[in-house]
Amino acid sequence: MRYFVILAFPLLLLFACSGSKHSSNSPVSAYNIVIDGKLWSSLFEQKAAEYRALCLQAYNIARLRLDEALLQPSSKPRAIITDIDETFLDNSPFSVHQALQGKDYEVAAWAEWTAKAMADTLTGALSFYNYAASRNVEIFYITNRRESEKDGTLQNLRRFHFPLADEQHLILRKDVSSKESRRQQVAATHEIVLFLGDNLADFSSLFDGPKTTAERAAGVQQLSLEFGKRFIVLPNTNYGGWEDAIYGNNFSLTPQQKDSAIKNNLKAY
Ligand SMILES: [Mg+2]
């Protein structure tokens, strides 16, 4: 008995210590997909030369399609409609900033970031928009940044000398997130030759409103001939309508509930 106590006590102590160590520091239990996952997706956007190549691929195709459009007659002035965030401005430092604090996207933190006007540009973007402007094609920046973010946004665009970075060409979100009425507003006076975006709702009202993953995929199939033609898509692994759909477009889920939704949506073998 005495020997048992002498031997058992250190063993119990060892188990207790290793148990508490496991629960507090285990990379599995502490890892949160939706928050820490943004570090991984941001790493790709910041460091993978493949991401740069994808952006160049998008902007090279855009230029090709623009040149084709310029050969066609047009009764109205030509225009390009482009989104801003993750279409030509890189906000991955914001995602990293949030994730390192254990936080997901927050409206107030986002506004703080955009007010700094320091987002860098994506590879190939600036030269494309400058080329379009040199060919007398107007550029309309249709974004879901809010009116309160106007000054910071204009400052960010002007910092890199984006063409037509003025109040007439920057069309922010006023009430609805749908960009359809804003696209129609431009289409009333211009021939829209190209749309650029990272989110499907940047292209068509087909993707507006809460849409399921299956509905989004069906919409892409329906418009399949437009991609790489009038619709130029930039990759965004960090966020977007695709992520909202995973959560059932429910914006009040906790990070833990989001993690469950992510796991439930994944396919393994
Ligand atoms: Mg965007």
Residue 133 lies in a domain: yes
Residue 101 pLDDT greater than 80, yes or no = yes
Residue 173 lies in a domain: yes
- Decide which of 140 and 30 is more confident: 140
User: What pLDDT was estimated at residue 24?
Assistant: 39
Per-residue pLDDT band at 31 (split at 50, 70, 90) = confident
β-pairing verdict for 170-173 and 78-82 = unpaired
- Average pLDDT (85-113) is 97
Mean pLDDT of the chain: 91
Residue 2 lies in a domain: no
User: What pLDDT was estimated at residue 6?
Assistant: 45
User: What pLDDT was estimated at residue 171?
Assistant: 98
Residue 26 pLDDT greater than 60, yes or no = no
User: What pLDDT was estimated at residue 13?
Assistant: 40
User: What pLDDT was estimated at residue 30?
Assistant: 66
Residue 165 lies in a domain: yes
Share of the chain above pLDDT 70, in %: 89
What are the phi and psi torsion angles at 89 (to 5°)?
-105, 140
From the CA of 173, how far away is ligand 1's center (Å)?
A: 13
Per-residue pLDDT band at 252 (split at 50, 70, 90) = very high
User: What pLDDT was estimated at residue 22?
Assistant: 37
Closest CA to 140 of 175, 177, 185: 185
From the CA of 230, how far away is ligand 1's center (Å)?
A: 17
User: What pLDDT was estimated at residue 209?
Assistant: 87
Range in 15-29, 36-50, 157-171, 239-253 with the lowest mean pLDDT = 15-29
Q: Outline where the chain has alpha helix (H).
A: 2-25, 27-30, 33-47, 49-70, 92-100, 107-115, 125-134, 150-159, 180-187, 213-222, 241-246, 255-265
Number of domains in the chain: 1
pTM listed for this prediction? 0.88
Residue 140 lies in a domain: yes
Residue 149 lies in a domain: yes
Residue 9 pLDDT greater than 80, yes or no = no
Query: At 205, which CATH number?
Result: 3.40.50.1000
Identify the H or E element spanning 197: strand 191-197
From the CA of 235, how far away is ligand 1's center (Å)?
A: 10
Residue 234 lies in a domain: yes
Residue 256 lies in a domain: yes
User: What pLDDT was estimated at residue 25?
Assistant: 43
From the CA of 266, how far away is ligand 1's center (Å)?
A: 24
- Average pLDDT (136-163) is 98
**Residue 93 is encoded by which pair of tokens?**
């430092």
User: What pLDDT was estimated at residue 16?
Assistant: 39
User: What pLDDT was estimated at residue 12?
Assistant: 40
Per-residue pLDDT band at 114 (split at 50, 70, 90) = very high
From the CA of 126, how far away is ligand 1's center (Å)?
A: 16
The domain containing residue 237 runs over which residues? 78-265
From the CA of 154, how far away is ligand 1's center (Å)?
A: 16
From the CA of 180, how far away is ligand 1's center (Å)?
A: 15
β-pairing verdict for 170-173 and 191-197 = unpaired
* Burial (Cβ within 10 Å: 0-12, 13-18, ≥19) of residue 257: middle
Residue 20 pLDDT greater than 90, yes or no = no
